[in-house]
Amino acid sequence: MRIPQADDIIKIMDLPLAIAENIDTSKLVAARYGFDERQSNYYLEAAEVLGLITKRGTKYRLTEDGKKYLLMDISERKITLVKKMVLVPIITRVIAELMVKDKNTVSKRDLELLIAESSPVKGSTVPRRAQTIVSWFRWLSEETDVIQATADAITLKCSDAKP
């Protein structure tokens, strides 16, 4: 299971536009956003996990979904991103956990254990990946008002959501 490590959803949302402007390598992406090349790789991988871009050699290209994304207004882009995010395996797994856990809450520690169990990510990288997932849930909470996310926990707001 691929676990993204890119916290800023606004930058992820901008990446397909950057790719369309031929900012299509990790070096060019790093220059656009003012971070190092390693960080740009994390953001490119996140957009790839979401199905908006794909890598060919050293360059990134828009997928068919990425091309459609370019034609959308910001509201449609956000809806598309919500739909794509909930299909990312780690996000789907956390949502499932929220549905069955007492108090409909997954702690950051629970999330770290889930990442360590279900991915090749280990050691000091686990908390950084967990932080990204929390960031994604924070964005989802702003866009959907179904989830509440803090630095310490993710909670499903619908108390009647349990089966």
| Same domain as 120, residue 62 | no
Q: Which two tokens stand for residue 106?
A: 């997954």
Q: Which two tokens stand for residue 40?
A: 């740009």
Q: What are phi and psi of 37, to 5 degrees?
A: -60, -35
Question: Which residues are CB-contacts of 32 (< 8 A; sequence separation ≥ 6)?
Answer: 18, 23
| Same domain as 93, residue 37 | no
In a domain, 46, yes or no: yes
25-42 pLDDT, tens digit each: 999 999 999 999 999 999
CATH number of the structural domain spanning residue 28: 1.10.10.10
| Same domain as 63, residue 20 | yes
| Same domain as 61, residue 106 | no
CATH number of the structural domain spanning residue 117: 1.10.10
| Cα 97 from Cα 100, distance rounded (Å) | 5
69-127 pLDDT, tens digit each: 999 999 999 999 999 999 999 999 999 999 998 789 999 999 999 999 999 999 999 99
Judging by beta carbons within 10 Å of its beta carbon (0-12, 13-18, 19+), is residue 114 exposed, middle or buried?
A: buried
Domain range for 148 is: 88-161
- Closest by Cα among 79, 17, 92 to 49: 92
**Confidence bin at 145 (pLDDT 50/70/90):** confident
Place of tokens 């360590």: 116
Question: Contact 73/82 with Cβ under 8 angstroms?
Answer: no
What's the total number of domains in the chain? 2
| Same domain as 92, residue 36 | no
- CA 85 and chain centroid, separation: 6
| Same domain as 96, residue 65 | no
pTM beyond 0.85, yes or no: yes
In a domain, 92, yes or no: yes
